Amino acid sequence: MQVAKYLCSVSQHSSGLYVSGYCDSTKQTTVELFNPLNETCRLLHTTSGCSGIICCAGDELYHIRLNLIEVGNLTSGQTSITFTQKGTIPQVGSGIYWLCFPASVIDEKVVGVFTDSGTPCGLFSFNPATVQFSQVVNFTY
């Protein structure tokens, strides 16, 4: 990888493996593309703050961090990715959330949501038409 990272998330696409993670020394999150054919990594995106979870759906790369849902378009030979905000995850209490989901989250699967301390706070379902998460079950009473 170009930048050492932890709290990583990986998603597979026909163009390679996308790896997102947080770098403690720079306090930034980076997204890199790993090409398994020539075993190279290319830095595509850097943003300040916390890392998130990435997930490919077709030629879109979803980056879900904090309570934001961001999406970037994947094109072959790209040298960078620009993410735009597409939605938010409803806030429960004062939590910052991390989602635990398989790549099929984009197919309206129910996903577990955890606070930044790792405590489960609920289940949400994803609606790709509105790019919104809706809470199904609340674990914080």
Predicted confidence (pLDDT) per residue in 117-135, tens digit:
656 666 667 666 776 667 6
| Cα atoms in the Cβ-side hemisphere of radius 13 Å centred on 108 | 4
Task: Count the Cβ atoms, other than its own, within 10 Å of residue 3.
Answer: 18
Torsion of CA 98, 101, 104, 108, to 10 degrees: -60
Q: Give the span between the Cα atoms of 23 and 32, in whole angstroms.
A: 13
pLDDT on residue 104: 42
Q: How many helices (H) and strands (E) does the chain have?
A: 0, 12
Position 23 confidence tier, pLDDT thresholds 50, 70, 90? confident
Percent with pLDDT over 70 in the chain: 64
Closest CA to 127 of 109, 100, 101: 109
pLDDT on residue 31: 92
The fold for domain 6-138 equals: Neuraminidase (2.120.10)
Q: Give the span between the Cα atoms of 112 and 114, in whole angstroms.
A: 7
Least confident of 31-35, 76-80, 94-98: 94-98
* pLDDT tens digits, 54-95: 878 788 888 877 777 788 999 877 889 999 888 776 665 555
4-18, 30-44, 53-67, 81-95: which is most confident? 30-44
